[in-house]
Chains A and B, each alone.
Chain A
Amino acid sequence: MKPPALQARALACERGGRRLFEGVDFTLSDGQALWLAGGNGSGKTSMLRLLAGLGLPAEGEVLWRGQPVRELREDFHRQLLYCGHAAGIKDDLAAWENVACNAALAGYRVSREQAEAALDRAGLHAVAAVPAHFLSQGQRRRVSLARLYLEPLPPLLLLDEPFTALDASAVQQLGERIAAHLDSGGIAVYTTHQAHGLRPQHQKRLDLDAVAGGAQ
């Protein structure tokens, strides 16, 4: 039997001596999305970091196509686009240079034209050559998310508050991009508090408040 694409098995997470959540089990197959919900401090970002292999769970494990992600390392990273709370933007680089740098770190080189085309799709063509220092928070977020408009897009998207600081049109555009990715068989896990138009057909919702652990 084919293993699920992404699986969390009895995951527990601790931060600062406090157990944020425990006993989290879920599976995601190709084309499915998971919306991580919960109040501030419920562990949404920690969960995304565990799924990316950045954090070490207190208990349990994360599997990618049946294998632990922390053993797969670079093989898993090739399948993953992680957009964390910090935008990963360098103030001293132009917007297009930031897109090219982040793409290069992910393992594929893009030309200035390709980076500018991605920024164009993210609605930032006019500021492609402007140093990120001069961009607003929303524009910086869009620069960070411009990687979503580069091809090829890896199958697994882990997005931490992707809609934050975006205007209504950008929220809609991003929602459409994620939906298109899911329609083509990709997987997305995202956190958000914000109202958004993303209503994929096969979406699961995990409320981390419901699996909160007690104090240690």
Chain B
Amino acid sequence: MTGMLAWIVKRDLLLAGRRSADALGSLAFFVIACSLFPLGVGPEPAALRSMAPGVLWVAALLAATLSLPRLFSADHADGTLEQMLLSSEPLVLIVAGKAVAHWLVSGLPLVLLSPLLALQFGLDARSLAVLLASLLLGTPILSLVGAVAAALSLGARSSGVLVALLALPLYTPVLVFGAGAVDALGAGGGAMAHLLLLGAGLGFALALAPWATAAALRIALE
């Protein structure tokens, strides 16, 4: 069973590598969106520091949402999704593998790039560490919950807009606790409560999202 999960991750990474422009597009969006804020707001260090977590998190949400419509649409268009539904392995595993691959291609690079982008906002080392931890816990939730939205909007006209409309409200708690973790540290409190809530959210998403996505895919193909 885990063999199928690992195989799907490997397959999707291979496909992403062969069509790297898609993944690089959302990464470029993240970099550009984060870099525009200091230019627009001005060089005031205190203002930049206070807005940094929110800006980085909102840019991460939008960048992750950009790549969501492609999560199942290509497999749907070329008939591979039918083969996935008819696989001898549970669809839940295949869906989980695709969400993991989506995070590795669209989420993890954002986490790795964020320290560099945070330099533009003058974040100190402790705040940066908390921001990294919150992104590390939060971005997998974006992929898991986003997979549900992508499956629900499969086959719909203007599915890209629909995915965003479905996914962004569901991302709100992740944004609140993710950005709030750094703010709480700056306010003198600890960030642990926010990070634990993000961890709980990740556990919740891991437990439910693959099943919800699999059910949505079955309905979409009926």
Interface residues of A in 30-78 (CB under 8 A from B): 52-56, 74, 77-78
Could you give, for residues 90-103 of chain B, a 1 whenever the CB lies within 8 Å of some chain A CB and a 0 otherwise?
A: 10001000000000
Q: Is A77 within 8 A of B78, CB to CB? A: no
The residues of A that contact B221 with a CB separation of less than 8 Å are 54-55
Given A53, A74, A93, A109, which contacts B15 in the complex, CB threshold below 8 Å? A93
Closest to A87 in B: B79
If A55-B222, A56-B222, A104-B7 touch, does A92 touch B83 (CB 8 Å cutoff)?
no
Q: B interface, by DSSP: helix, strand, loop or mixed?
A: helix
Q: Is B11 an interface residue (CB 8 A)?
A: yes
Question: With the chains together, A19 CA to B193 CA distance in Å?
Answer: 56
Q: Is A86 an interface residue (CB 8 A)?
A: yes
Q: Is A107 within 8 A of B222, CB to CB? A: no
If A54-B82, A87-B78, A87-B79 touch, does A74 touch B18 (CB 8 Å cutoff)?
no
The residues of B that contact A54 with a CB separation of less than 8 Å are 82, 85-86, 221-222
Given B15, B77, B83, which contacts A106 in the complex, CB threshold below 8 Å? B83
Closest to B11 in A: A101
The residues of A that contact B222 with a CB separation of less than 8 Å are 54-56
The residues of A that contact B78 with a CB separation of less than 8 Å are 86-91
Closest to A97 in B: B14
Q: Is A105 an interface residue (CB 8 A)?
A: yes
Q: Is A192 an interface residue (CB 8 A)?
A: no
Interface residues of B in 41-87 (CB under 8 A from A): 77-80, 82-87
Q: Size class of B's contact patch?
A: 20 to 34
Question: With the chains together, A91 CA to B18 CA distance in Å?
Answer: 10
Question: With the chains together, A124 CA to B154 CA distance in Å?
Answer: 34
Cβ distance A140 to chain B, nearest Cβ, rounded Å: 10
Q: Is B18 within 8 A of A52, CB to CB? A: no
Could you give, for residues 4-23 of chain B, a 1 whenever the CB lies within 8 Å of some chain A CB and a 0 otherwise?
A: 10010001001100110000
The residues of A that contact B89 with a CB separation of less than 8 Å are 74, 107
Question: With the chains together, A109 CA to B87 CA distance in Å?
Answer: 13
Q: Is B2 an interface residue (CB 8 A)?
A: no
If A54-B221, A90-B15, A101-B11 touch, does A85 touch B79 (CB 8 Å cutoff)?
yes
Cβ distance A12 to chain B, nearest Cβ, rounded Å: 15
The residues of B that contact A56 with a CB separation of less than 8 Å are 222
The residues of B that contact A53 with a CB separation of less than 8 Å are 86
Question: Which residue, of B88, B94, B222, has the highest number of chain A Cβ atoms within 10 A?
Answer: B88
The residues of B that contact A107 with a CB separation of less than 8 Å are 4, 87-89
Interface residues of A in 77-117 (CB under 8 A from B): 77-78, 80, 82, 84-93, 97, 101-102, 104-107, 109
Q: A interface, by DSSP: helix, strand, loop or mixed?
A: loop
Q: Is B86 within 8 A of A82, CB to CB? A: yes
Q: Is B18 within 8 A of A105, CB to CB? A: no
The residues of A that contact B18 with a CB separation of less than 8 Å are 92-93
If A55-B222, A90-B15 touch, does A77 touch B87 (CB 8 Å cutoff)?
yes
Q: Is B88 within 8 A of A106, CB to CB? A: yes
Question: With the chains together, A85 CA to B81 CA distance in Å?
Answer: 12
Cβ distance A88 to chain B, nearest Cβ, rounded Å: 4
Q: Is A90 within 8 A of B80, CB to CB? A: yes
Q: Is B84 within 8 A of A105, CB to CB? A: yes
The residues of B that contact A93 with a CB separation of less than 8 Å are 14-15, 18
Cβ distance A211 to chain B, nearest Cβ, rounded Å: 21
Q: Which 3 A-B pairs have the closest CB atoms?
A: A86-B79, A107-B88, A92-B18
Subset of 27 A-B contacts with CB under 8 Å: A54-B82, A54-B221, A56-B222, A74-B88, A74-B89, A74-B90, A78-B88, A86-B77, A87-B78, A88-B82, A89-B79, A90-B15, A92-B18, A92-B19, A93-B14, A101-B80, A102-B80, A102-B83, A104-B4, A104-B11, A105-B87, A105-B94, A106-B87, A106-B88, A107-B4, A107-B88, A107-B89
By a beta-carbon cutoff of 8 Å, the part of chain B in contact with chain A is: 4, 7, 11, 14-15, 18-19, 77-80, 82-90, 94, 221-222
